[in-house]
């Protein structure tokens, strides 16, 4: 059995249940414990599951650091950025969520657009995109230092005073079992409000988010939302009923 086939089986198992043991996987795939352990380590480094003692779980309680996420699947995030930027003209108003994929889009916007009106809760994104703006608003609130972004009720209240043409929204994970998830209620609520306050929200999910389940389930996406991915969704996720009304675009 090829490594890619084993990885697909492992990810399928952790998407169907809270946790799966190494013993169960060795029986299921007919391989050694060492092979399964190495497969789990590989998938954990790719942020596709969480390695735990004796097995793996797809439910994550904490997101990797912004530095680690920026280096994970950088090519896929760059493709998403290129696709999204082609949809946004000079002078557009944009609400931008914090995160590594939205940062990739912000960098590309700064290189190719001008006269933008930007609303964001991310200090790094604000600094990155500033040269391309004619108006820049940073949502106030408590700064989460690990993300260098504002979060909390004050941030959400500040956000709801504004409306933008485009929204760039990240997610913590995208799975068959839970669809879109995040790691905190604050983050999930903030992202939902951003989608509600933009005319055309783009929900950005590169392949490193496939099969990942955060501990907070996000509210259903607005019908106007477009989901942008860097490669085709796994069939189990693509078949999810709640995705049916939404446009899914593969950046290439």
> pLDDT at position 1, please?
85
> Do residues 73 and 170 both lie within one domain?
yes
Question: Do 73 and 20 sit in the same domain of this protein?
Answer: no
| CATH code for the domain of 47 | 1.10.10.10
Our count of domains for the chain comes to 2
pLDDT at residue number 166: 98
Residues of the chain short of pLDDT 70, as ranges, are 18, 47, 59-62, 64-65
Closest CA to 121 of 59, 190, 172, 67: 190
* Same domain assignment for residues 81 and 112: yes
pTM, whole model, 2 decimals? 0.78
Asked which of 39, 58, 77 is the last residue of a domain, the reply is: 58
Tens of pLDDT, residue by residue over 120-165, are 999 999 999 999 999 999 999 999 998 899 999 999 999 999 999 9
Please say whether the beta carbons of 94 and 166 come within 8 A: yes
Q: Which residues does residue 125 pair with via DSSP β-bridges, in sequence order?
A: none
């Amino acid at each position: 059995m090829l490594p890619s086939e084993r990885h697909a089986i492992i990810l399928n198992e952790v998407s169907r249940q809270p946790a799966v043991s190494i013993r169960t996987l060795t029986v299921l795939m007919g391989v050694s414990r060492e092979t399964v352990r190495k497969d789990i380590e590989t998938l954990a480094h790719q942020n596709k599951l969480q390695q735990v003692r004796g097995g793996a779980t797809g439910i994550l309680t904490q997101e990797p650091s912004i530095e680690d996420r920026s280096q994970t699947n950088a090519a896929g995030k760059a493709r998403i950025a290129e696709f999204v930027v082609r949809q946004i003209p000079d002078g557009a108003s944009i609400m931008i969520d914090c995160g590594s994929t939205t940062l990739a889009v912000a960098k590309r916007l700064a290189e190719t657009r001008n006269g933008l009106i930007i609303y964001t809760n991310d200090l790094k994104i604000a600094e990155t995109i500033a040269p391309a703006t004619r108006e820049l608003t940073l949502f106030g609130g408590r700064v989460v230092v690990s993300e260098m972004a504002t979060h909390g009720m004050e941030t959400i209240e500040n956000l709801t005073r504004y409306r933008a043409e485009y929204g760039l929204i990240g997610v913590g994970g995208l799975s068959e079992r839970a669809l879109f998830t995040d790691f905190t209620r604050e983050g999930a609520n903030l992202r939902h409000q951003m989608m509600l306050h933009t005319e055309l929200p783009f929900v950005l999910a590169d392949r490193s988010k496939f099969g990942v389940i955060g501990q907070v389930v996000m509210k259903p996406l607005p019908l106007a939302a477009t989901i942008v991915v860097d490669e085709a969704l796994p069939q189990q996720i693509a078949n999810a009923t709640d995705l049916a009304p939404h446009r899914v675009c593969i950046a290439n």
